[in-house]
Amino acid sequence: MPERRVAVVTDSTSTLTHDEAAAHGIVVIPLQVIIGATSYDEGVDEGASPEMVAAALKSFTPVTTSRPSPAGMLEVYADLAAQGYDEIVTFHLSSRMSGTFESALMASRDATIPVHVVDTQQVGPAVGYAAIAAVRALEGGASAEKAGKIGLERALSSTSLFYVDTLEYLRRGGRVGSAAAFFGGALAVKPLLRIENGSIESFEKVRTAGKALARLEDLAAEAAGEDPVELTVAHLASPDRAEQLANKLAARLGLQAPVRTVELGAVLGAHVGPGMVAVCVMPTGA
């Protein structure tokens, strides 16, 4: 009996670069970012660069985001079926923060091949790690369903922490969870936030960016513990902060390889604003 071919899909908020996605054979479906009156596909159109989003936010140009349509996702599934794939496993950012998972679920019902849709309950690098874990599981002989479960387990075991210069952008997008408790004259607070149960939750608050980033380092090191982990430091328009944090974590944890550092894409960047720095700690399970 011939081996079943399984495609792994994710969305553009996963922070996988083109080269990373290609190396693992992962298909990336773009979300949309709307700057002013123009809509762009993240990771596809040059106009949806993080730099453009950061500049637009600073100049108070309206920036909004949109999930992929079910019809658009169905086209991707149909194309994969035409390429000879027998099943699809697809990983998406938390359903509590985006309708992307819902679009994927709706599209899966009309697909001509089975589509296993996974709500990672995460956002950013943890979503990408989940997709990569599924690829590795499939390479090891796992079924599509099992690969989906392994990817979800990896996502749920991760720790995603982040710092924002201001809560204003999260407030505008209505994606603050319990962080809303910081509002009411507290927009000057430098908050540390985390993804918990699929939502953005408040964690700690400090008064300066320097103290916040130092605390972010401590919390990431604490989450890593003594076990093998993969780390990603992400940022928006703050490469120096990100590089400094990545270097400190590599030295502190005794890592031989540099810590992966990426700039957030336009969609996530639109909600956190320039100056954001995040750390994702993912246990390798080794």
pLDDT at residue 188, rounded to an integer: 61
Cβ burial of 86 (10 Å; 0-12, 13-18, 19+) is: middle
- Residues 151, 165, single domain; the answer is no
Q: Tokens representing 286?
A: 């080794």
Within a domain: 21: yes
How many Å separate Cα 133 from the centre of its chain? 15
**CATH number (domain holding residue 145):** 3.40.50.10170
C-alpha–C-alpha distance, residues 30 and 51, integer Å: 17
Q: Are residues 194 and 106 in the same domain?
A: no
Tracing tokens 């990426």 back to the chain, one arrives at 262
Q: In what order do the strands lie in the sheet with 6-11?
A: 26-29, 6-11, 87-92, 115-119
What pLDDT does residue 174 have? 55
Task: Answer yes or no: do 139 and 182 share one domain.
Answer: no
Report how far residue 249's alpha carbon sits from residue 272's, in angstroms, rounded to the nearest whole number. 23
Closest CA to 93 of 250, 264, 276, 229: 264
Phi first, then psi: give them for residue 244, nearest 5 degrees: -65, -45
Whether 180 and 260 map to the same domain: the answer is yes
Spacing of C-alpha 191 from chain mean position: 19
In angstroms and rounded to an integer, the radius of gyration of the C-alpha atoms of the chain is: 19
pLDDT value, residue 285: 65
Regarding whether 173 and 148 lie in a shared domain, the answer is: no
pLDDT of residue 169: 79
Q: Do residues 206 and 212 make contact, with C-beta atoms less than 8 angstroms apart?
A: yes
Identify the pLDDT of residue 181: 47
Q: Does any domain span residue 261? A: yes
Beta strands across the sheet bearing 38-41: 38-41, 32-35, 63-66
Statement to judge: residues 127 and 252 lie in one domain: no
Q: And the tokens for 157? A: 């075991």
Which domain covers residue 92, as residue numbers? 6-31+67-156
Q: How high is the pLDDT of residue 117?
A: 98
Predicted pLDDT of residue 227: 84
Distance CA 146, CA 13 (A): 23
Q: Are residues 145 and 170 located together in one domain of the fold?
A: no
pLDDT by position in tens, the chain (length 286): 457 899 999 999 999 999 999 999 999 999 999 999 899 998 887 767 888 888 888 888 888 899 999 999 999 999 999 999 999 999 999 999 999 999 999 999 999 999 999 999 999 999 999 999 999 999 999 999 999 999 999 999 999 999 988 877 777 655 555 445 454 445 566 788 999 999 988 878 888 888 889 999 999 999 998 888 999 999 998 999 999 999 999 999 998 888 999 998 889 888 888 889 999 999 886 4
Q: What's the structural domain count of the chain?
A: 2
Task: Give the pLDDT confidence score for residue 266 in this predicted structure.
Answer: 86
Residue at which a domain ends, from 133, 156, 179:
156
pLDDT for residue 47: 66
Is residue 192 a part of any domain in this protein? yes
What distance in Å separates the CA atoms of residue 78 and residue 123, rounded to the nearest whole number? 26
